[in-house]
Amino acid sequence: MSKPIFELIDELPTNNLTTKVLGMLDFVVPGEWHNLVGFDNTIRVVTGETDEALIQQIGERAVQLYNDSSQGYQRALWLYQTVDNSATLLASGVLANKVGEAIPLLGFLNKVTLKPQKAQTMDFAIKLVVEVVAFCQINGIPGDSIGDFVASLADYSGESLMRMVALISLDGLIPLGPNFLSQALSTFSTVSPNELESNPTFKSVSSLIPGNNSAGKLDFVGTSLDSVKGWMGSFVNDHDLTQQSVLSRIKGFVDFSEDKLDYLGAFLDVSTNYYEHTGIQTLARRLIERAVAEI
């Protein structure tokens, strides 16, 4: 277990590149994401309660639930954190001090080794699988319950929906282009178990991905991709979400040329932690909702 859940929520940043990117993506689902920070504040917002004694009681029960290792909350947090941390966080400290400026990519180009497009595609797919497994952990259902996850997407909202928007936009559309879904499916039809094992993102989270071996885990990744393609494709079409619509808004705070989109994708990968940020907020909401129901 890392820090206490209340400390993680209290320490969420209010203004950095991650929050700026997430705020920018609000244009896709207006009003869905609010940067809820602070444990007590989150309890008040989620429950609408003002009674301090009840807020205290809800908070204590939420902490107890999180600390119970038989529940899946700690494992879900580990997944959210680990899949973000698998990227090399070079330059992130420098970038954190430049919020509010138009950050140029020129200096960044000298510090990054681009991933091959196949590896980038695999990272997108593995992040999706982390969402599937974390959902199962939070809801106390078997980790291979892909059907339950896909059914739940219709009800995704708030920080959970924003995480999917960010996955589509930052790990799909920007680095891979408008055909990111078909490309991901095509890529995984040719990936071998050995190739999967050599992917750093997969290695970081493989212990919780269902499957008895690398071949089984590869099948799970492919099945997850195939199962979510209908929802994801419809979401992109229904919200008129395009690479250009995302890029036009990112230009407000990152200076880049459109022939360097592979670098922009890498830049966003190493300088944001949207999975961890929104994942902590998702956990807080689920813990508080369950605590209220039990009280």
Q: Residue 92: is its pLDDT beyond 60?
A: no
Nearest in space to 252 (alpha carbons), one of 36, 96, 23, 95:
23
Which residue type sits at 154? Answer: A
* pLDDT given for residue 42 in this prediction: 97
Query: Band of the pLDDT at 84, cuts 50, 70, 90?
Result: confident
Q: What is the mean predicted confidence (pLDDT) over 253-264?
A: 76
- Tell me the per-residue pLDDT of 218-257, one tens digit each, with 9 for 90 and over: 999 999 999 999 999 999 999 999 999 999 998 877 777 7
- How far, in Å, are 101, 251, 257, 266, 284 from residue 104 at the CA level? 9, 10, 10, 13, 35
- Tell me the per-residue pLDDT of 119-165, one tens digit each, with 9 for 90 and over: 889 889 999 999 999 999 999 998 789 999 999 999 999 999 999 99
Q: Residue 274: is its pLDDT beyond 60?
A: yes
* pLDDT given for residue 89 in this prediction: 47
Q: Residue 5: is its pLDDT beyond 90?
A: yes
Nearest in space to 175 (alpha carbons), one of 238, 250, 100, 276:
250
- Tell me the per-residue pLDDT of 167-180, one tens digit each, with 9 for 90 and over: 999 999 998 999 99
Cβ 259 vs Cβ 48: under 8 Å: no
Q: Report the alpha-carbon distance of residue 28 to residue 22 in Å, rounded.
A: 10
Percent of the chain clearing pLDDT 90 (strictly above): 71
- Tell me the per-residue pLDDT of 26-79, one tens digit each, with 9 for 90 and over: 999 999 999 999 999 999 999 999 999 999 999 999 999 999 999 999 999 999
* pLDDT given for residue 100 in this prediction: 56
Q: Residue 94: is its pLDDT beyond 60?
A: no
The region of weakest confidence among 103-117, 209-223, 257-271 is: 103-117
Q: What is the mean predicted confidence (pLDDT) over 279-295?
A: 96
* pLDDT given for residue 112 in this prediction: 64
